[in-house]
Amino acid sequence: MFVHRRSSYPMWHENAWLRAGRRARVLARNRPALLSVLFLTVVLVVVLCPKLFTAYGPYAFVDENGSPEIPLERPTQRHPFGTDELGRDILSRVVYGARISLGSGAAVIVFVVTVGTLVGMIAASRGGMFDEIVMRISDVFQAFPPLIIAIVFIGFLGPSLYNGLMALALIWWPQYARLARGVTLSTLQSEYVGAARAVGAPGSRVLWRHVLPNSVSPTLVKASLDLGQVILIVGALSFLGLGVQPPTPELGALVTHGRRYILTAWWYSTFPGMAIFLIILALNFLGDGIRDILDPMTFS
């Protein structure tokens, strides 16, 4: 007699592949998000391997023969983005500046997501005075624009990229603490958490196995959108002279240096400004795409 044998391939693995396929189709239908993924992938490859795409260093103002470059030279085949007032290649400085901007924004987002999520989960689970203190601190930080608080913070410690990033990290984590707190309070009221507690699951296990996975989707969407805001604020601080200091290339600093020559050398500030615009636009489209992919109503 023929006996049908059940496949040993796990059913949950099949469901995971099905969900991944549906999410890939949702992303493919969202053309702006798909183009943003491709654009950001190219940007990451360029900024991680800048020597493969640039013929000059970010600080070099001489050519390969040791001859001085022409200051404020228009875009040419040798210098597609032109040169600055010292003859340095603007394309190279934009590439290295984008690496600093993206790296700074990613460092801030990783820190605030980690700290904010942990603090919010602990505050919601413990409640009482600790929860009240965390929420009042959050209210204080969220009552003012991040750029204003960052400027005040840098005014005490002095202008530098490190002080600017530290200021943004200190004032941004309450947003994620509030988000994690709301998700935690909602999850703790669910039936499966009650069942886990009924069988004796400790509070730490409930947080890590049930609450934290539910926080991933909203946190990931918010982080993808906030990354663009952090990059913009880092550029604004450099534009005001409070962030990256010369001669380090950074997109905001390049814009502020080029504005002095905007009437005679339009390319100096235009290309760094376009880089900031395109990166932030792509990150916003990517955030919208991630929101659509992770939205349960998309697959209902």
Q: For 258-278, how does the pLDDT look when each residue is reduced to its tens digit (9 = 90+)? A: 988 988 999 999 999 999 999
Q: What is the pLDDT of residue 6?
A: 45
295 contacts: CB under 8 Å, gap ≥ 6: none
pLDDT at 93 exceeding the cut of 70: yes
Pair 254, 101: CB distance under 8 Å: no
**Burial tier of 132 (Cβ tally within 10 Å: 0-12, 13-18, 19+):** exposed
Q: pTM (2 decimals)?
A: 0.84
Three-state SS at 195: helix
Span 146-171, average pLDDT: 87
| Mean of all residue pLDDT scores within the chain | 83
Can you tell me the mean pLDDT for 127-153?
A: 85
Q: What are the structural domain ranges in the chain? A: 28-59+83-260+267-299
d(CA 257, CA 243): 13
User: For residue 247, is the peptide bond before it cis, meaning its omega torsion is within 30 degrees of 0?
Assistant: yes
Fold held by 28-59+83-260+267-299: MetI-like fold (1.10.3720)
Task: Tally the residues of the chain.
Answer: 300
Query: Does residue 95 surpass a pLDDT of 90?
Result: yes
8 A C-beta contact, residue 226 and residue 109: yes
Say how far apart CA 33 and CA 41 lie, in whole Å.
12
State whether the Cα torsion 278-279-281-282 is positive or negative: positive
- Measured distance CA(237)–CA(253) in Å, rounded: 8
Q: Would you say residue 193 has pLDDT above 80?
A: no
Q: Is residue 290 exposed (0-12), middle (13-18) or buried (19+ Cβ within 10 Å)?
A: buried
- Residue at token pair 């183009």: 35
Do residues 79 and 267 lie in contact, with contact meaning Cβ atoms separated by under 8 Å?
no
Q: Running DSSP on this structure, what letter comes out for residue 89?
A: B
> Whose CA is closest to 40, among 92, 102, 93?
102
User: Using CA of residue 106, residue 111, residue 114, residue 115, what is the dihedral sign?
Assistant: negative
Q: What is the mean pLDDT of residues 38-57?
A: 91
Question: pLDDT at residue 3 above 60?
Answer: no
What residues are paired with 89 via a beta bridge? Answer: 83
DSSP category for residue 247: T
**Nearest-angstrom CA–CA distance, 146 and 167:** 9
Q: How far is it, in rounded angstroms, from Cα 116 to Cα 110?
A: 10
